[in-house]
Amino acid sequence: MDLQQPHAGTSDPALTPGRRLGSVRARTNSLCAPLEIEDYVIQASDSVSPPKWHLAHTTWFFETFILLPFAPGYRVFDVAYAHLFNSYYETAGSFFPRAQRGLLSRPTVADVYSYRGHVDEALQTLLNNLPQRYAHDILARVELGIEHETQHQELLLMDVKYNFFINPLKPSYHNTRGAPSPILETVWQTYKGGIVEIGHDAVGFSFDNERPRHQTFLQDYRLAGRLVNNREYLDFINDNGYRRPELWLSDGWHTITGQHWQAPLYWQRDGSDWQQFTLSGMQPLNLPEPVAHLSYFEADAYARWAGKRLPTEAEWEHAAAGLPITGNFLESGAMHPQAARSSGLTQLYGDLWEWTQSAYSAYPGFRPLFGTLGEYNGKFMSGQMVLRGGCCVTAQEHMRASYRNFFRPADRWMFSGLRLAEDT
């Protein structure tokens, strides 16, 4: 196995692997607690998955990559699940079409929770009787499985939001309200360029796409101190930003005209005003809040309209390195981006994933994980762009400066926004 040495550094270091595993698995269940039974099966588009599928797929991951190879006498819960809940691992066997996951009324939600319980019990038994010959490999895969499930907790909430949005009733997942906040002026931060190092430093867990740490060259640059907010983006809309082809990349223009985009996802006109759909249902557009659910194309067009640009991922990481990982994360309970509340560099972590102008590709010397787990990240290094910093439904313990998220440039159902950059 080519995984980092497992550790407990992404959460309470006093927790054993078994307790960390139990904590993360329990959090997934708690995030599903507000759902009605009918909500578990909904799939509103090809881009999202039903909550029931997330519950089962994360369980399949532990069963496939830990229990089957390492737990003597493990009894598979249901042989059909290997096909139903494999996501995209070609070398692990066949998988049910992603676009049809919402058609699976069976297994039932109760069946899936029984599956989770079955696998959880087997995992704890294995961890309590860890075979020393394979201890490193098992613990490394448990660590990866914990981080994988944490990723799916974020995806689950993003998917629930989209699934609820297409319902004319515009249901609420939970009830929170943002506090009133003034709109702060943008304060720019200047950074000296030169040869810098980015990438994971090999201390603690990382995904393979964050490695190896390497040198890169930066020109002097500046970053906006906060994310672009709703008021600023509304100015772009009112200046006919969605009707001016000179602002858009060619693929972006074809996307917005072909899909008739006139505003960010989840924005709806209410007479002369705007409303925004949130996990708390429809709300009046809060102008100080950062603009959310933008595609890369929209972020890039706004930056061009503003006479600026998007930062590179190296610039973002250089600015973030050494700063405390604090912000509006899942643990805050807001599950919605919040307005900037201080001047200077803020909102770097949490609130919204920040688009960069960097294509998602391999670092120099990149080596994917061995075997089937090598499909986790590396095979997606084509046609996607990098986002940084985490968002309001990312677990704080999951985040680090080197973390590289990636989506296709037309995607915008995730919690994504932008920070402006410029050359000095």
Which domain-ending residue is among 105, 133, 165?
165
Q: Could you tell me which of 318, 332, 347 has the C-alpha nearest to residue 394?
A: 332
Query: Confidence class of residue 12 from pLDDT cuts 50, 70 and 90?
Result: low
Residue 182: inside a domain: no
Chain-wide mean pLDDT for the chain?
94
Domain that holds residue 366: 188-423
pLDDT the model gives residue 52: 98
Report pLDDT digits (tens) over 148-206.
Answer: 999 999 999 999 999 999 999 999 999 887 677 888 999 999 999 999 999 999 899 99
Residues 6+ positions from 176 with CB-CB distance below 8 Å: 280, 333, 334, 335, 336
Assigned domain for 401 exists: yes
Q: Assess whether 130 and 232 both reside in one domain.
A: no
> Of 133, 165, 197, at which residue does a domain stop?
165
Residue 6 is predicted with a pLDDT of 32
Average pLDDT over residues 397-408: 98
In a domain, residue 194? The reply is yes
Phi, psi (degrees; rounded to nearest 5) at 71: -100, 105
> H-helix or E-strand containing 114?
helix 109-128
Phi, psi of 276 (to 5 degrees): -135, 135
Pairing verdict, β 214-218 and 194-198: antiparallel
Taking alpha carbons only, the member of 211, 166, 216 closest to residue 193 is: 216
pLDDT tens string 24-54: 999 999 999 999 999 999 999 999 999 999 9
Helix axes 109-128, 135-165, angle to 10 degrees: 160
Burial class for 75, CB neighbours closer than 10 Å (0-12, 13-18, 19+): exposed
Percentage, residues of the chain above pLDDT 90: 92
Task: Tell whether 228 and 371 lie within a shared domain.
Answer: yes
Same domain, 41 and 161: yes
Percent above pLDDT 70 for the chain: 96
Q: Is the pLDDT of residue 5 over 80?
A: no
What is the count of structural domains for the chain?
Answer: 2
- Is residue 352 a contact partner of residue 292, using CB atoms and an 8 Å limit? yes
Q: 135-165 and 51-62 are packed helices; what angle lies between their axes, rounded to 10 degrees?
A: 170
**pTM to 2 decimal places:** 0.95
Q: How confident is the model at residue 342 (pLDDT cuts 50, 70, 90)?
A: confident
Same domain, residue pair 149 and 199? no
Give the CATH number of the domain where residue 260 resides.
3.90.1580.10
**Would residue 77 count as lying in a domain?**
yes
Q: Under 8 Å CB-to-CB from 265, ≥6 apart: which residues? A: 293, 294, 412, 413
| pLDDT above 50 (res 9) | no
- pLDDT tens digits for range 84-134: 999 999 999 999 999 999 999 999 999 999 999 999 999 999 999 999 999
Q: Record the tokens describing residue 210, joined without a space.
A: 């964050």
Looking at the structure, tell me whether residues 247 and 359 fall in a common domain.
yes
Do 146 and 234 lie in a common domain? no
Residue 2 lies in a domain: no
pLDDT above 80 for 412: yes
pLDDT of residue 7: 33
- Note the pLDDT tens digit of each residue in 280-289: 999 999 999 9
The answer to whether 237 and 268 are in contact (CB under 8 A) is: no
145 with 244, same domain: the answer is no
Residue-level pLDDT at 8: 33
Q: In angstroms, rounded to a whole number, what is the distance separating the alpha carbons of residues 17 and 127? A: 8
Are 308 and 370 part of one and the same domain?
yes
Burial of 385 (0-12, 13-18, 19+ CB in 10 A): buried
Query: Same structural domain for residues 140 and 215?
Result: no
- Specify the pLDDT at position 16: 86
Residue 344 in tokens? 């200077």
Same domain, 256 and 388: yes
Q: Are residues 161 and 234 in the same domain?
A: no
Indicate whether 155 and 215 sit together in one domain. no
